[in-house]
Amino acid sequence: MNVREIISQCIASLLRNRLRSGLTMLGIIWGLVTVVLLLSYGRSLGEEVLNGFMGLGDNVIMMWGGQTSMQAGGERSGKKVKFLDGDTEAVRDTVPFLTAVSSETDDGFSFKYGPKVVNISTKAIEYPYGGMRRLNIEEGRYFEPADFTEHRQVVIFGPHAAQKLFNGYPPVGETVEIEGHVFQVIGVLRNKIQDSSNNGPDNENAFIPFGMMRLLADQRDPGSIVFQPSSPDLHIKAIQAVRAVLASRHHFDPKDDKAAPTWDTVEDSQEIMQFSTALELLLGIIGAMTLGVGGVGVMNIMLVSVTERTREIGLLKALGAKRRDILSQFLLESLTLTFIAGAIGMVVAIVVGYLVPPMPLYSDIYKTANHEGDIVLRASPSVMLISFGILAAVGIVSGLLPAVRASRMDPVEALRHE
């Protein structure tokens, strides 16, 4: 008997027992919908949490001066380390596998536009900073190299900082006074989801060329150095190399991580991804257990089918059918029942996913448009593939016991069965 005939017999059997088959298939459909929606929820939640964290930047590492905890170069531990003018250039020139390096200094300055004066947290940065930190422009333009080489007094606002000072008036092209010095507004950042920050989210900050700190605060030294390795896999090597350069300039032990502490967002993002994977696994197990309840129904209907067809099994064996033929027939019937219900369940899961509205996560906090940052139940190809694998496992386990029982029947006893 070939596979096509077995599937035809199974479908005919389902049609003969419509109510029983329908109730059994309902358990599979319900379980599969649960699996798909739970996996979709876990995947979407994990992605949005990771994207929220990565709003800080792509594979960014920040390093600032600390206090030595080891003796080095004849100096006692406990010495404070303060970065100096030229440190960033030394790192940029010495470490070849960094995509970008920038000085950064944070301060709060008074901004005056017309009669209005507000205090805004301001970051003084260098040109490569924006690419690392996802400073995407909504209006106007980002800094260009000439802004730094020609010492232009220009400023870029985060969207909330711009609203705070301009009250909705278009700021690009306007001039503001920062600590009494006139700056031209050249751009406003795009509103972004940022679940982590140093000294405030970018939406609330203003950004100026690093050289302008000499004008506003008579400061030349960077408060921190921000850099990006050419590959995420190089993040530890990058930290070690940058710390070694600074150690040689400030006379501390390169292994002294307290002398130059870091914030390694690459490591943090890997931990978030592990959390996301663990959450998906947990939700997948819960969904698989729900689908397993439907599998019990398949096993029950197949055991009933074996009992009803005892004489048929005896006749097949008497005509020369082998145990593996009987085993294959009933196992395929179980899988046919499971996958017909599974196909219906997949369609239902996709429809339900589109009917369920996005669940708020970040949109209320950051006032994003089109539900950006919210949890959306969409069955991705990977979710569908995982769900299919769980369904196949349930179908095999559910059909194996009835199939084994049928294959082990004694043909003589089976033919005597009434």
How many beta carbons lie within 10 A of that of residue 397, not counting itself? Answer: 15
In a domain, 225, yes or no: no
If asked whether residues 241 and 182 sit together in one domain, one would say no
In a domain, 190, yes or no: yes
In a domain, 367, yes or no: yes
In a domain, 60, yes or no: no
Residue 60 pLDDT = 95
Question: Which tens digit of pLDDT belongs to each residue from 77-97?
Answer: 888 999 999 999 999 999 999
If asked whether residues 80 and 126 sit together in one domain, one would say no
Question: Which tens digit of pLDDT belongs to each residue from 373-410?
Answer: 899 988 888 888 888 888 888 878 887 777 777 777 76
In a domain, 309, yes or no: yes
% of the chain exceeding 70 in pLDDT? 91
If asked whether residues 213 and 316 sit together in one domain, one would say no
In a domain, 41, yes or no: yes
If asked whether residues 291 and 388 sit together in one domain, one would say yes
**C-alpha–C-alpha distance, residues 180 and 111, integer Å:** 8
Helix locations, 231-356, DSSP H: 235-250, 265-308, 310-318, 323-355
If asked whether residues 153 and 73 sit together in one domain, one would say no
Range of the domain at 336: 3-54+269-416
If asked whether residues 363 and 311 sit together in one domain, one would say yes
Tokens for 53, please give them: 């964290």
Residue 203 pLDDT = 95
E strands present in 114-149: 116-125, 137-140
If asked whether residues 278 and 162 sit together in one domain, one would say no
Residue 193 pLDDT = 92
Residue 118 pLDDT = 96
In a domain, 224, yes or no: no
**How many structural domains comprise the chain?**
3
In a domain, 61, yes or no: no
**C-alpha–C-alpha distance, residues 375 and 354, integer Å:** 12
Tokens for 116, please give them: 């209005």
Q: pTM score, two decimals?
A: 0.80
If asked whether residues 317 and 397 sit together in one domain, one would say yes
If asked whether residues 244 and 387 sit together in one domain, one would say no
If asked whether residues 139 and 159 sit together in one domain, one would say yes
Residue 414 reports pLDDT greater than 70: no
Question: Which tens digit of pLDDT belongs to each residue from 135-174?
Answer: 999 999 999 999 999 999 999 999 999 999 999 899 999 9
If asked whether residues 143 and 209 sit together in one domain, one would say yes
If asked whether residues 79 and 213 sit together in one domain, one would say no
